[in-house]
Amino acid sequence: MASGSVPSFTFQAYGEDNPRQVSGSGSSSRHLSDSESEICPTTKSLARLCSRDKDERATALEKLSEKILVRLELDRTGSARLSKQTLLHLLRLSRSCPLQEVRMRATELLCIAQEEGIEVPRALASGPSAFIPAKEMLIEGLNQDILVESFLSLGRVDHLTMVMALHPSYLSCFLRTQHALFELDGPLPRDWRHYISIMAAARHHCSYMVQQHSKAFLEAGGDESWLSGIKHAPVKLRSLHTLNKLLAHRPWLITQQHIQELVCAGAEPRWSLAELIHAVILMAHTHSLCSFVWACGLNPEPDHIGGHTFHPPSPSHIPRSPHSPAHEDGRQELVDGAVEVEVLMKRMVELQQQQEEEECTQEEMVTRFERQRSESIPTAVVRGAPPELVLCLVEEPEFRYEDFAPRGEQSPSPMRAQDYSWEDHGFSLVQRLLPDMGQFLDEEFQVVSNLTYNRMAMHEDVDTYTLRKALWNYIHCLYGIRYDDYDYGSVNVLLERSLKVFVKTMACHPEQTTARIYHAFWRHFRHSEKVHANLIVMEARLQAALLYTLRSITAYIK
């Protein structure tokens, strides 16, 4: 479903550049003292820079420029300085602002500062993703329009938004859900919402998401000491630990007992059902988003730790993203990729014809499901230890994903979609406990399920429904969810092994995703098509995790 226009969404801009939060690395230099005069834009001045009125934006930009130039003039006598936070703010605007006049002015101001002897930061990455060439995202057209809308509404355009902007209709509904979860009135305080997401992101060693939410946590008035370790957080937040680890790695193990321990009358501290459902959605939302971040190879933001340096570039060393080794290109690979597309196209047509002509028995359908869920699919090598800013926020880091149905082992019974589904059960429960959130989530699921551009690689006018359905159902199969009316033999026909390795890694071990497995599948497809697949996997994972928890909440209520 390609959107022909950019839907409007109106949010309040976050208060950027809270002086308590300083990220990045750098040596001691003229700009690093926190006691120095700070000219970084306040929430109010940021809002003016994001005004929809072009003249007001131009005036705000001029005033910002004048302030910085005055500081640079005064700096010659040492009476004032440019702070590190201001320089990082300019770096971010120069790299990611979709408004050309703002981007160019920020670049110009950094150049002037450098000429005046100020050590200025430079971004370590050339674009938002280590996997996707920047030129494929930073282009004019429909996705550029939604990036402008995002900047005017939110005050910044991050790497996550840039990649999602390849699919504007999805991005617009995603941003509405994100805003509802973190900004609209609800049972949880805003700083707690971000801290819960920090706890969730840490389970997948996702430094990108931890830093994003740490910044927002402080801007919401959060206690900075909580970021130095989970032990500093309130007991009530820490009581989410078991639910958090199960949601992240083995949601099928969540039971009514886990819910009862948090919400029953004798629980101390006690969660209300509304608070708990909000926390559960925050955790599941963040876990699935970590899958997307890793699967798209997102680079740190320019103002993140690891996203910039104050040292000049070394001619003998080009920084490499930790995501992966270089991708091996070659003519033979392109030829093989083209052949794979033709084979997949043929299989899709044959499968559709076969399903119209043949009818499997229910026993055969169950057998094919069991065969699929017990299939051995290896994942990538385990990464090294996560950075300390992540590790200090994780309890039981050794608790990881295990297959729902390991070979030769007794496994729990699958969840039959006919017994508990989002449409018939989960949606209404969320709507009742957290009004409107069910609607936001349902819109996400609907948009990603129907999203299609009727093309595949170099082919146009292609019905990709069977392929999209196979991806969704394969992820649910990995999580032990079975659809009685779906033929799981289709999964092996449509999903090549390299694609299975990628999506299983993304859904189950996202921190192990590498460029090698990203580039190994669909070698002749557009990067936007791979991002489309990532969106399907992300949303399928989110729904699967929610279903197990919502089923347990339903059992408790009854």
Residue 144, CA distances (Å) to 37, 100, 130, 149 in order: 35, 11, 20, 9
Place of tokens 């040292």: 311
Cβ-contact 374, 405 below 8 angstroms: yes
Distance between CA atoms of 464 and 447, rounded to whole angstroms?
A: 15
Which of the following is catalytic: 97, 206, 296, 477?
206
Q: What are phi and psi of 310, to 5 degrees?
A: -100, 5
With a CB cutoff of 8 Å and minimum separation 6, the contacts of 248 are 200, 203, 204, 283, 287
Assigned token pair, 184: 């609209």
**How is residue 189 written in tokens?**
């305080």
Pull the structure tokens for residue 498: 């390299």
Angle between helices 465-478 and 497-508 (to 10 degrees): 50
Query: What does the block give as tokens for 132?
Result: 């996707």
**How many Å apart are CA 71 and CA 82, to the nearest integer?**
7
Query: How is 255-320 classified by DSSP, letter by letter?
Result: -HHHHHHHHSTT-SSPPPHHHHHHHHHHHHHHHHHHHHHHHTTBPPPTTSTTSEESSPPPTT----
Could you tell me the two tokens for 19?
Answer: 């002086």
What tokens appear for 454 in the block? 């009727």
Phi and psi torsions of 430, nearest 5°: -65, -45
Q: Are 59 and 49 in contact (CB under 8 A)?
A: no
Is residue 251 within 8 A of residue 544, CB to CB? The reply is yes
The letter for the amino acid at 405 is: A
Q: What is the DSSP letter of 129?
A: B
Say if CB 271 and CB 533 are below 8 A apart.
no
508 carries an active-site annotation:
no
Query: Virtual CA dihedral for 465, 467, 468, 472, nearest 10 degrees?
Result: 130
Structure tokens at 397: 């880091």
Measure the CA–CA gap between 55 and 63, rounded to whole angstroms. Answer: 12
What is the separation of C-alpha 169 from the centre of its chain, rounded to a whole number of angstroms? Answer: 16
Other CB atoms within 10 Å distance of the CB of residue 15: 18
Residues composing the chain: 558
H helix or E strand, kind and range, residue 459? strand 459-460
Q: Which residues are catalytic?
A: 206
